[in-house]
């Protein structure tokens, strides 16, 4: 097992390179920018439909109003994703542009939305009240048009890059105001992008007889059908957990490519449910509630297992500290505190638990009558509650939840017990080394045991990685002299992670530490990819461990803006979230 983990760690740079792919980043960040659409529209849909589950009949005008809000938000999501994807892809492309040449992200955003409409939407005429009207088919403006949105965004930005790099723009005299001159400079690339997508639309419609968006769905449907089988669901979940195990944020790699079909399937499930049928799609957006039950690795039950069954002081402490965040799918305190990342004892259960969960879910949907997930709920919703809601409050869903909790406990417990024995032996040895009686080992603080946080072998001796990751609170507190206080006075800190969950933990710790020490420090949490418009308002940016692979890309931006960039490793980051005063000290030390 150690040899396998060493091999995986050796290839970690390759997997990190995949996660930094500019196309995957643009898709992920563009979709993340539209998440308020998904979540807000779902609220109105729940208002319109769920009262009927308990026999409450709402006034029809209220139902119609809620449905209208849903259709005018979720129903045009494809158009919006085209814009946000182009905006984020433009930001990545600008890092690679020659000096003095910049792509206008506002213009690429609008051009991509227009191009997406050309690729996905059909215009036709119809008669209404005796008058002939020109209308749009809205079917592909929403989730069915997401693939067209991505292609429109990439074509648009590449056309802009081609034109701007070669000065293929309209130039006006220098006396013309900059804002007006920029509009004229964008005419040629804007027109080029729209014309190219218009030509693609004409060719596809004449040769295939369908819009480009429908052609994509037909071409990819065999792949999507395969992905919804047991092997397909298992492969998706195993890949997500595997990447996270080696320290690369798995959802950022795996999910962007399947999000369009997951959302389309969930929307189709919803329509079937509202029509009184049985929603049968299992590859849906909220299947992550099952596969990532309590976070990647299906760790929902793990903190409780640590508290109840482990003897190691370290694991008991990690269980107590992580039980609340893990309930809300923020499991980094567990992943880096136990640790589970690159821990040879945890490889098998970390990958297997989620795979078992999605297999059981598909069995329940196909054979037991449980509804496929229909209502979209936020990723941070406690998984048992989210599953109950999105299956339309089916009691069988509660039985399903109980079964996967039991199965996950069975999968994890033997491996946790083996790892617990190793840690107990290490704690006893350290107690002996310190000249303590064997029964005094229980009094040693969990933080003094030093199994390497990012160690790949079950060695008793700590590695350099473990020394670097010792809790900040255990280091001697330096005197906060006037110069040190001045270094952080008025500081603005932005903490970034993948979904703004883990980053909030450190941002809150910094706020609390500032209040304790009387420092004038402001801290905020955000999601990587949504930071570009606000990063220039901060003095320091901190990358959480799951987005640490983006360090080089971020460094180019922070150096240009004169911002300090910090990227603590796994256990160090978790220690800082638990030690507000230590977080302030850490900021001082790293501002030199």
Active site residues: 497
The three-state DSSP-derived secondary structure of 349-362 is HHHHHHHHHHHHHH
Q: What is the Cα–Cα distance from 307 to 318, expressed in whole angstroms? A: 8
**How far is CA 451 from its chain centroid?**
29
Query: Angle, to 10 degrees, between the axis of helix 12-19 and the axis of helix 2-10?
Result: 50
State the CB neighbour count (10 A cutoff) for residue 585: 23
How many angstroms separate the Cα of 340 from the Cα of each of 246, 302, 353, 447? 10, 11, 13, 16
Tokens of 375: 């209502």
Q: How buried is 79 (Cβ within 10 angstroms: 0-12 exposed, 13-18 middle, 19+ buried)? A: buried
Radius of gyration of the chain from its Cα atoms, rounded to whole angstroms = 26
Q: Are 334 and 326 in contact (CB under 8 A)?
A: yes
Strand partners, 540: 493, 564
Compute CA distances 385 → 24, 381, 391, whole Å: 31, 7, 10
Burial (CB count <10 Å: 0-12, 13-18, 19+), residue 14: exposed
Q: Tell me the C-alpha distance between 324 and 395, whole Å.
A: 25
């Amino acid at each position: 097992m150690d040899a396998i983990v060493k091999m995986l760690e050796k290839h970690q740079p390759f997997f990190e390179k995949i996660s930094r792919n500019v196309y995957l980043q643009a898709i992920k960040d563009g979709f993340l920018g539209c998440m308020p659409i998904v979540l807000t529209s779902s609220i109105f849909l729940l208002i319109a439909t769920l009262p009927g589950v308990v026999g409450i009949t709402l006034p029809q005008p209220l139902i119609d109003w809620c449905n209208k809000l849903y259709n005018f938000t979720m129903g045009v999501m494809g158009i919006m994703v085209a814009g946000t994807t182009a905006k984020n892809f433009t930001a990545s492309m600008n890092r690679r542009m020659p000096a003095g040449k910049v792509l206008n992200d506002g213009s690429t955003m609008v051009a991509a939305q227009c191009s997406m409409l050309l690729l996905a939407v059909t215009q036709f005429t119809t008669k209404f009240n005796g008058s002939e009207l020109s209308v749009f088919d809205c079917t592909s403006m929403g989730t069915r048009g997401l693939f067209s949105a991505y292609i429109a965004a990439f074509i648009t930005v590449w056309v802009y890059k081609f034109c701007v790099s070669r000065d293929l723009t309209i130039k006006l005299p220098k006396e013309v105001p900059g804002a007006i001159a920029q509009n004229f400079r964008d005419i040629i690339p804007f027109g080029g992008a729209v014309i190219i997508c218009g030509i693609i639309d004409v060719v596809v419609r004449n040769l295939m007889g369908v819009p480009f968006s429908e052609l994509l769905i037909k071409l990819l449907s065999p792949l999507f059908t395969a992905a919804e089988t047991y092997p397909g669901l298992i492969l998706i979940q195993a890949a997500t957990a595997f990447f996270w195990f080696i320290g690369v944020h798995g959802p950022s790699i795996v999910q962007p490519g399947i999000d369009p079909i997951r959302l389309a399937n969930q929307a189709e499930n919803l329509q079937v449910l509202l029509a009184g049928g049985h929603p049968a799609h299992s590859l849906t957006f909220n299947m992550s509630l099952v596969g990532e039950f309590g976070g990647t690795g299906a760790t929902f039950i793990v903190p409780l297992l640590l508290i109840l069954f482990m003897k190691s002081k370290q694991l008991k402490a990690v269980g107590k500290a992580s039980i609340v965040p893990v309930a809300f799918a923020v499991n980094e305190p567990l992943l880096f505190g136990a640790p589970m990342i690159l821990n040879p004892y945890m490889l098998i259960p970390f990958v297997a638990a989620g795979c078992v969960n999605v297999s059981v879910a598909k069995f329940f949907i196909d054979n037991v009558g449980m509804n496929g997930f229909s209502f979209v709920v936020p990723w941070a919703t406690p998984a048992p509650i989210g599953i109950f809601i999105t299956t339309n409050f089916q009691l069988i869903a509660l039985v399903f939840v109980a079964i996967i909790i039991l199965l996950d406990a069975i999968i994890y417990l033997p491996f946790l017990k083996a790892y617990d024995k190793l840690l107990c032996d290490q704690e006893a040895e350290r107690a002996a080394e310190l000249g303590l009686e064997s029964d005094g080992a229980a009094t040693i603080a969990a933080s003094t045991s030093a199994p390497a946080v990012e160690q790949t072998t079950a060695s008793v001796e700590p590695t350099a990685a473990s020394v670097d990751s010792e809790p900040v609170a255990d280091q001697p507190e330096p005197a906060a002299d006037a110069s040190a206080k001045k270094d952080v006075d008025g500081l603005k800190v932005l903490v970034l992670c993948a979904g703004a969950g883990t980053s909030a933990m450190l941002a809150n710790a910094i706020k609390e530490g500032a209040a304790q020490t009387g420092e004038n420090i402001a801290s905020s949490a955000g999601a990587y990819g949504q930071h570009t418009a606000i990063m220039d308002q901060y003095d320091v940016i901190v990358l959480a461990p799951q987005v640490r692979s983006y360090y080089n890309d971020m460094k180019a931006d922070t150096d240009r803006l004169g911002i300090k960039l910090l990227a603590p490793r796994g256990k160090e980051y978790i220690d800082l979230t638990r030690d507000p005063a230590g977080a302030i000290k850490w900021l001082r030390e790293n501002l030199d």
